[in-house]
Structure 1
Amino acid sequence: MANPCKELIFAIKAGDHPKVTEILDSGLQVATPEHFLLATQEKDYATLKLFLSHGWDINTDIDSLVPSALVYAFEDVELLDWFLDHGADPNKESRIRDCTPLSYAVMEAPFNIVKYLFENGGQLKRGQLLHYAAMRRKDDCSEVLQFIYNEDPDYNELQINKLLDEGTSHCLMNYRSGLGTPLHYAASSGSVDMVSFLLDKGAAHRLDPYHRSPIGYAVYYGHYEVEQVLKARMTLGAGSA
């Protein structure tokens, strides 16, 4: 077996389960997150089961930012159910920040999948969900953001003006990587509805670590309507002070 890592890739792509078994049985530590991810993307349940039967942890990180292969199961309910039935954790934190599979879901998965994950163990107070919902770019972004906020308004009121990672063990490591508040992310998305909702809930015009404001984000990304909404609210706030 000249290169068992490559052999395993070829076997997974070919759906050659005897070969996959042979390699995993060899005792060589060749299996990697990339192999398990490939089997996930191929929706090869037999290979996935072989990995688990050989001791693979279904919640293994894919890389430093992606907490597990569950993130790649959101577009297929059958695959998602398989993962959940085999112990996949929607609240598993990534290696370098408080970001979970549910964080990825609120950012980019279909809305029904977001709700489904909440019904299957997803926790609001893990994964900075308000921030990731504000990063959403789909047409239903405002609806998802409001859903997340309304799951626990008291808790989210405390999160709404925090920078991403603020108050977590990862904050110092990630501080200079462009961290923002939910309002920064909503402004960069161009969603007037998301920005207006956050402002109505008490979002403030806080600066990020590079001293950029939500208005600055809106200007940079060319979102004129968002820029005007933010400026109008600032003027209103100054006038009522």
Structure 2
Amino acid sequence: MTTYNLKDDRPFRENDKYGLEVPEIVDFYCPDHPLMQQLCDACARGQLDEFKRLVEEWKAKGPPPGPEHYPLGTLEPILFFAVRQHQHQIVAYLLDEGLKRSELVMVHVHEFRCRPPMLQVMLDRGWDINYTDSPADPPRLAFVLDDKELVEWYLAHGADPNAEAKYGWTPWLRAIVWAPLDIIKTMHAAGGRMDLAVPFVCFGRNYRSDKSPERLDVLRYLLDNGADINSRLFAHNHYNRGAYFDPGSALNLALGDGQDEIAEELLDRGARTDIPAGEMMGHVTALERARGKDVSPHLLAKVEECRRREVAEAAKGTPAEDAD
């Protein structure tokens, strides 16, 4: 029989960010007990009936149980082991026997990229699919965007693409930045907010991998489906709007980051050149940004022409604006 080292892979250490519901349970772990090794072996082989038999044996004469209020806690290392082995039936059995579905269990589920059967076990036992305990990170849907099967499962089971962390990130907005176009389409069909999306096409370019979607195709898809071309980055959230110095609209971002093709597409689609950035960026507009950056003469001329057109259109019904 294979020897399984539960001692060096303990699922909880003091001061872990994600703790156990009963932290003191580690004092009752018995990783070297022969029965624990037998349980691991049955789990690794997917032998549910044998695993149940061993648990009943443990209840009768096994190692000392956990504390009085949590006698099954001694088996917690086996629960984490079963998650890592993707043995969803054994995990379901242990949870139904009385082991706790702590946040640390969910960390294991996500870190080991468990598939829908394991996720369903957790969902059936009280997991909130739209929960996040991080002010910066949105719910878990946002972290499976490279896996179409998981994205579709999450959406089919109640995941909200617009579920928002404190600082404004949602699964939908992360998808605009990092996901392939087909995933973006799936998220849009599930209700992704088009009023917020466009600036995120221009966001985080230096952090995207070579597998990232073609930005121009994403932009065109969003605009073809009614996205607000002039929305501000993090318009819905003052925390991150301030954290990123409120750069303004997608056109401001594209011009400032040398994304000329994106900027041209935005101008061709009617993006405004007079939307100012926030105070920390000096209220600079797209026109001012284009004049102050090393943009091509062609692009600068296009921005200036668009600005003249905006002024002319405004002059038809209001006092003329300053074209400069």
Give the AA of the match of 1:177. Answer: A
Taking the aligned partners of 2:96 and 2:107, their CA distance within structure 1 comes to 15
* Residue correspondence of structure 1 range 115-134 to structure 2 within 5 A: 115-125=185-195, 128-134=196-202
- 1:190 matched residue in structure 2: 258
Question: Kindly tell me: are residues 57 and 230 of structure 1, through their superposed partners in 2, closer, same or farther at Cα, counting changes over 3 Å?
Answer: same
* Offset of residue 148 of structure 1: 1.1
- 2:110 matched residue in structure 1: 37
Give the AA of the match of 2:102. Answer: V
2:94 to 22, 25, 28: 22
2:242 to 158, 172, 176: 176
TM-score of the pair, normalised by structure 1: 0.73
Taking the aligned partners of 1:21 and 1:188, their CA distance within structure 2 comes to 55
- 2:234 matched residue in structure 1: 165
Structure 2: 5+ residue runs without aligned partners? 1-24, 30-72, 206-211, 312-322
1:93 to 156, 164, 179: 164
Question: Kindly tell me: are residues 165 and 78 of structure 1, through their superposed partners in 2, closer, same or farther at Cα, counting changes over 3 Å?
Answer: closer
3-state SS, counterpart of residue 176 of structure 1 = helix
- 2:141 matched residue in structure 1: 70
Q: Residues 186-233 of structure 1, C-alpha deviation per residue, up to 9 Å, x if partnerless?
A: 23543211111223313325233322545898899xx8446x555434
2:273 to 187, 193, 204: 204
Taking the aligned partners of 1:61 and 1:24, their CA distance within structure 2 comes to 24
How many aligned residue pairs are there? 225
3-state SS, counterpart of residue 192 of structure 2 = coil
CA contact (8 A) 1:11 1:19 kept: yes
- 2:214 matched residue in structure 1: 140
TM-score of the pair, normalised by structure 2: 0.57
Give the AA of the match of 1:114. Answer: I
Return the structure number with greater relative CO, CA threshold 8 A, min gap 6: 1
* Offset of residue 133 of structure 1: 2.1
Give the AA of the match of 2:189. Answer: E
